[in-house]
Structure 1
Amino acid sequence: MNHLKSIFLFFLSISVVVSCSSDDSGDNGPMVLNPLEAHEQLNISYGEDNDQVFDLYLPANRTVATKTVLLVHGGGWTTGDKSDMNGFKEYIKENMPDYAVVNINYRLADEENQPYPMQIDDITSVVNHLQEQQDYYTISNTLGFVGVSAGAHLSLLWSYAFDVNHQVNMVCSVVGPTNFTDPAYLENNNPLLQELLDTFGIDTTTEFLEEVSPYHRVSASAPPTILFYGGQDPLIPTTQGTMMRDKLAELNITHEFTLYPNEGHGWLGLNLLDTTIKLQAFIETHL
């Protein structure tokens, strides 16, 4: 079981120069962080559970127009850590230095705790925290999401169905599940695919599977969406990407879709470079 779950851990390794940041707060902390200085704070608590923490990276010279990219790690909803998204974090800090970055952990599912709605609730709590501390951090309430695997699923689902204040301007899915009613899942004989469905699709009714599927929750008001998938992915059938792409086109939602025919559940080298270039352009255009 643990071996199968570990496959979900998709680590993007990007070698960049990491810039340092500091905070010169007093004993009781400043009323407002100095927006002229970069600020980095790790493991900010947003709940009582040890997993309910996030890392915050604020750029120097930020204003009330500074936008935030939220990073959501994968791990099959049962494993993984925000450190798995460090490649993305470092790339954004180095190449898109005007954005704030929030790298989140969320409560992991187990036999006693189902992933839904628990993990969606955690994302909501993080967003609420940022909104409550908006003046203190000197940021806007405009958000973008970048998620990988299970984190991509959560990013899409929250952006499409739970963004009640319309704060999300873009969302990215890297190898994220999108539709649990896909015959590639429901009619499969592959134990890997079945385990994925059993982990999240605890309630096998069509109503529940549609409720937790971004494909079935997306509407014409959804934010611009960029999708990346591997044609040889043993966990995420290609149809998870192509069906989502077609649904976005049907709803006339701005989107981009890239399929790497020979890649699996993650990639490196030139295809990783291609992903980061396309993602950067998409963020800078839409966020």
Structure 2
Amino acid sequence: MVRFLENRFHYTPHFILLGNSAGGHLSMLYAYQPDSLKKIKAVINIVGPADLSDPGFKNYQDYSFVEKRLVDPSQSKPETSPIDFVSPVKWIDKTSPPTLSYYGNTDHVIPSTQGKILDSILNQNHVIHESYNFNGGHLDWDQSPTDTFLIDKIDLFLKLIDKK
């Protein structure tokens, strides 16, 4: 994706990745994997799964499907389980980009532990991050007044990291 944009527009920008649910997961996964060119400036994760090995996911009705089909076993490394391979928190290190996360307190898809796990790993690695909870479920983040709160937090977060 990044290479396509660079080739298409003939310049080398820095990117801010933002995603909701699976998009949040993919944004974090891409951003946290080793990036020698450090093109990802920040990640904004809205209700994205961060650690698929979290026992809280076992209650999710489609977890067995995710566990068996999310990653092609030939793509993961022998020393890493397929679930760890596709868990963004397993890739976080001190060079990971700043991250803003937003999770619902009544989400029945993403366990409430995901934000805590993500924050803990980001803290351990001294990565700039902010995390917020909203009243609602998985798809309620874009409802008023939650949406305005999120937009304001994104704006402040981006201004903060732009100074760095």
Query: Which of the five TM-score ranges fits, normalised by the shorter chain?
Result: 0.7 to 0.9
TM-score (norm 1): 0.50
| Match in the other structure for 2:137 | 264
Q: What amino acid is aligned across from residue 231 of structure 1 in structure 2? A: N
**Retained in 1: the 8 A contact 2:19–2:25?**
yes
Indicate the structure (1 or 2) with the bigger Cα radius of gyration: 1
Give 1:282 deviation, angstroms: 1.4
Could you tell me which residue of structure 2 aligns to residue 253 of structure 1?
Answer: 127
Whether 1:132 aligns to 2:2 is no
Q: What is the number of equivalent residue pairs in this alignment?
A: 155
Structure 2 counterpart of 1:215? 89
1:198 offset after TM fit, Å? Answer: 4.3
CA distance 1:184–1:201, change in 2 (3 Å): farther
State the distance in 2 between where 1:190 and 1:168 align.
Answer: 31
Identity %: 27
Helix, strand or coil at the partner of 1:170:
strand
Correspondence for 1:191 = 61
Could you tell me whether the CA contact under 8 Å between 2:67 and 2:83 is conserved in 1?
no
- Displacement after TM superposition at 1:283 (Å): 2.0
Q: Give the unaligned 5+ runs of structure 2.
A: none
Bigger RCO of structures 1 and 2 (CA < 8 A, at least 6 apart): 2
Question: SS state of the match for residue 132, structure 2?
Answer: strand
Q: SS in structure 2 opposite 1:257?
A: strand
Which of the residues 196, 200, 221 maps onto 2:70?
200
The Cα shift of 1:159 comes to 0.5
- Preserved contact between residue 193 and residue 235 of structure 1 (Cα < 8 Å): no
| Structure 1: distance between partners of 2:94 and 2:49 | 20
Using the TM superposition, give the Cα deviation of residue 189 of structure 1 relative to its aligned residue in structure 2, in angstroms.
4.1
User: Structure 2 CA distance, aligned partners of 1:202 and 1:232?
Assistant: 31
Decide which of 45, 54, 66 is 1:182's aligned counterpart: 54
1:211 is displaced (CA, Å) by 1.2
Amino acid at match of 1:200: L
Change (3 A) 1:189 1:222: closer
State the Cα deviation string for residues 159-211 of structure 1 (Å, max 9, x = none): 010533100111011000111111112xx2442444444452665x9622111
Structure 2 CA distance, aligned partners of 1:199 and 1:211?
Answer: 13
CA distance in 2, matches of 1:195, 1:235: 14
1:53 aligned residue: none
8 Å contact kept, 1:134–1:141: no
Distance in 1, Cα, partners of 2:47 & 2:17: 14
Question: What value does the CA root-mean-square deviation take over the aligned residues?
Answer: 2.1
